[in-house]
Amino acid sequence: MSVGSNIKHDSSYGHVTGESIFVDDREATNSEVFVGIVGSPVACGKLISIDASAALKHKSCVGVYSASDFCSKKWGTIFKDQPIIVEDNIGYMGEPLCIFASTNRYDIEHIKTLFKFKIDKASPVFSISDSVAKNNIIYSSPSAFVQGDVEKVFKSATNILEGTFICGGQDHFYMESQACIAYPMENGQIEVHSSTQNPSETQRVVAEALGLSLHHVVCVVKRMGGAFGGKESQAAPIAAYAAVVAKKLKKPARLILTKDEDMIITGKRHPFENDYKVAFDNEGKINGFKIILKSDAGAYSDLSSSILERSMLHADGAYYLKNVYIQGLAYKTNNHSNTAYRGFGAPQGNMTIESVIEDIACFLKKDAFEIRRLNIYQKDNIKTPYNQNIENNMLPDIFDQLHKSSDYKNRLVEINNFNKQKNGKIKGISFTATKFGIAFTSRFLNQGSAIVNVQLDGSVQVSTGATEMGQGVNTKIQQVVSSAFGIPVNNVQIMTTSTEKNHNTSPTAASAGFDINGSAAIKACNKIKSRLCELAKLIFENTTENNKKNTFTEFEVNNKDLDLDFIFKDNLVTQTSTKKEISFKKLVFKAYNNRISIGEYSFYKTPEIGFCKNTVKGKAFNYFTQGAVVTEVLIDEYTGEMKVMKSDILMDLGRPINPDIDKGQVTGAFIQGMGWVTTERLFYDTDGNLISHSPTTYKIPNIQDIPRVFNVDFLLNKNKIKNIYGSKAVGEPPFLLGLSAWTAVKHALSYRSNGKPVNITSPVTGEVILNKLTDLKNGN
């Protein structure tokens, strides 16, 4: 059985050898043109006119296109408020004003300099605080999450802390930038090959931009070179640009953004400024918590409302809050239209309460682990602020097991002794947790489909709506299908995702890609297996001389429930009651000869899911993926340089489909989360130009930044989990554990703060650390 085994990633060899095909690896045709984007030179204003005369005189420029060439002027995943390309009002620096086609891709950068624009410049707003002052709200949560009475608690509280937690944005920095090739087909059809997490939305936006019906557009996704949420919505207008050029010129059109272009044009993780107030007793028990989450949506709404909602849903972190008030507001600014990012708002909510707990510990002169262990969800207090019970809560087990296995107690003593030496270096340690809800918060997205086709040689082709971006979703689906039929995993091929095979697909996001599409695939397998079982039973019962001589006999088979008397294993189908068996391949061939379908389409929807944000009722998540980490850091007090010395992670992933792939997801998510809170700072000038728009100016973690000692382990969880094979999603939950590097820095700095809580922003770069140390030395 391949489920639970460490099967290699289906693209591993291809990635290593360079044989994997990405969008820009597709061979160019002789007639193909290349598309360039010309961005706005201002962050706010009104576009009056475009002078493209000089560009059109260039020998390789064969067309310039603006808003008037698009049938639909605006797009949006939730609210249709963002121009596909600027028609009049400009929302942010670098926003596309027009596109052009060139016969030579190497002329694109020069042609971009030949355009002239007449623009009435206006005053931009870049910060959340300035937008708050203007009351420029783009979205407000319909209802606050309220439990108990926080105001009453505050009036009689023993201790109160309040303040504002600030965290910055983050660029997705995927290896493959936004990319698309559009092919004009016969009868006015368009075939789009896109690096997108959301084929159906890309199909829809392209169709609307061209004025076509959806059945005239096909979106194809082989794989992506990373995405992390950045290709959930924002790949769609990129595809529309290529498609418009392809339709206008009746030639294939290729649009591949450079890393600089991609970082300038596309949105980031939402920066947040969260106002909080917390009441607690002298033991550190939180009695009341109030938080107002404020996000920078950027110029347009994009996915900001859903991201804000998930941030509210994770503002409790892993901690039970008897009296709580959670509200959320998204503000419009003249920054990039911010978008989905791994964690989808949960890190910005979760990080606030982890920071607050560090402050409580510092205020009470206690160990932060004690405060966390006291406040985590226990076995008996499992109701969240949004009225959902936590089933199979493993947090106490995770905390206690990791506390012991990481030797936290002795390490804390060692750190205390080390920091007393005052030798120019300080250490910090932090134990933080994740309790990540798995499901789309929009109920209708919790659906998927699969097509499973068994071939006559017993091999299987599977098509789903899932898209592969390196996370291994194809490999996991391959494993569950091979286990279902009892055949080698190499006999199962996951086909290229295409909207003509799987329609109305949900984006591969919310860590639910495998849960939804894998479940659909299993459902299709079981329908085929039920027919094969019935056929096998008839074959085993037919003992006539003709049958023994392999003469043809036709059987009538009806669709029935899967017969549990049969086992599919080791290329054999065995009836357990009679011990009779037949090879899977032979049974498949007999099914074909008897005109019995060995292919199936299946649809799956996550059961019992549905949350109403207006009434704060219903089940927001199918289940929770939980985990914890202990991270230790070392800081040079003279330079502000920080090194992560050790991280120990313990995750509850149920019963993993592929432990090695899951381990890769845990380590990768942790490092990406760590990067967000330590090194990945976005720099802008006063006009709104992104200065850090390249690998040389934007600092993602490298090999020197990862923990010197890095341990990842999985908790043995034998509980009944309502998911495919008892597994749990892993893509986003561990990202929240990377925040422990930031809280560990905060803990280290507390040794120099004279017992006062340390107020720092995120990311806590070396510069931030050095400035804070200087402030603390000066008594500030």
Q: How many helices (H) and strands (E) does the chain have?
A: 20, 32
**Residue 430: its H or E element:** strand 425-438
How far CA 506 is from CA of 187, 233, 277, 384, 708, in Å, comes to: 28, 11, 38, 27, 39
Question: Which range of residues forms the domain containing residue 702?
Answer: 272-441+613-777
Q: Give pTM, 2 decimals.
A: 0.96
pLDDT value at position 755? 85
| Residue ending a domain, choose from 565, 589, 605 | 605
- CA-CA distance, 436 to 317, in Å (whole number)? 8
> Are 740 and 636 members of one domain?
yes
pLDDT value at position 564? 84
How do beta strands 33-39 and 253-256 pair? parallel
**Tokens in use for 636?**
């040079």
> Are 220 and 104 members of one domain?
yes
Residue 167 lies in a domain: no
- The three-state secondary structure class of 634 is strand
Closest of 595, 500, 528, 465 to residue 196, by C-alpha: 465
Phi, psi (5° rounding) for residue 60? -105, -5
Q: How many CA atoms lie within 13 A of 227 on its CB side?
A: 30
How do beta strands 492-494 and 460-464 pair? parallel
Which residue shows structure tokens 């804390």? 412
| Residue ending a domain, choose from 197, 226, 256 | 256
Q: Residues near 87 by Cβ (< 8 Å), separated by ≥ 6?
A: 47, 67, 73
> Are 241 and 298 members of one domain?
no
Q: Residues near 338 by Cβ (< 8 Å), separated by ≥ 6?
A: 169, 267, 268, 269, 270, 271, 295, 296, 297, 298, 302, 304, 307
Residue 369 lies in a domain: yes
pLDDT value at position 559? 67
Residue 151 lies in a domain: no
> Are 627 and 686 members of one domain?
yes
How far CA 285 is from CA of 319, 321, 326, 372, 687, in Å, comes to: 10, 10, 19, 9, 46
CATH of the domain at 209: 3.90.1170.50
> Are 458 and 436 members of one domain?
no
> Are 584 and 496 members of one domain?
yes
> Are 117 and 219 members of one domain?
yes
> Are 294 and 437 members of one domain?
yes
| Residue ending a domain, choose from 200, 232, 256 | 256
- CA-CA distance, 36 to 110, in Å (whole number)? 10
**Tokens in use for 509?**
């996001």
By the 8 A CB rule, do 451 and 524 touch? yes
- CA-CA distance, 230 to 116, in Å (whole number)? 30
Residue 25 lies in a domain: yes
User: What does the radius of gyration of the chain's CA atoms come to, in whole angstroms?
Assistant: 28
Residue 464 lies in a domain: yes
> Are 317 and 207 members of one domain?
no
DSSP 595: T
CATH of the domain at 431: 3.30.365.10
By the 8 A CB rule, do 358 and 375 touch? no
Residue 743 lies in a domain: yes
Residue 2 lies in a domain: no
> Are 408 and 554 members of one domain?
no
Residue 148 lies in a domain: no
Beta bridge partners of 451: 463, 601
| Residues taking part in catalysis | 732
By the 8 A CB rule, do 252 and 246 touch? yes
> Are 473 and 328 members of one domain?
no
**Tokens in use for 661?**
């792939």
- The three-state secondary structure class of 660 is helix
Residues of the chain falling short of pLDDT 70: 543-556, 559-560
By the 8 A CB rule, do 502 and 465 touch? yes
**How far does Cα 254 stand from its chain's mean position?**
26
Helices (H), 394-439: 395-405, 408-420
Which residue shows structure tokens 């090695």? 660
For residue 213, count other CB atoms closer than 10 A to its CB: 9
> Are 233 and 117 members of one domain?
yes
For residue 256, count other CB atoms closer than 10 A to its CB: 22
Report helix, strand and coil shares of the chain as percent, to nearest 5.
30, 25, 40
**Tokens in use for 469?**
């971006």
- CA-CA distance, 352 to 167, in Å (whole number)? 9
Closest of 671, 773, 757 to residue 712, by C-alpha: 671
How many structural domains comprise the chain? 3
- CA-CA distance, 680 to 735, in Å (whole number)? 14
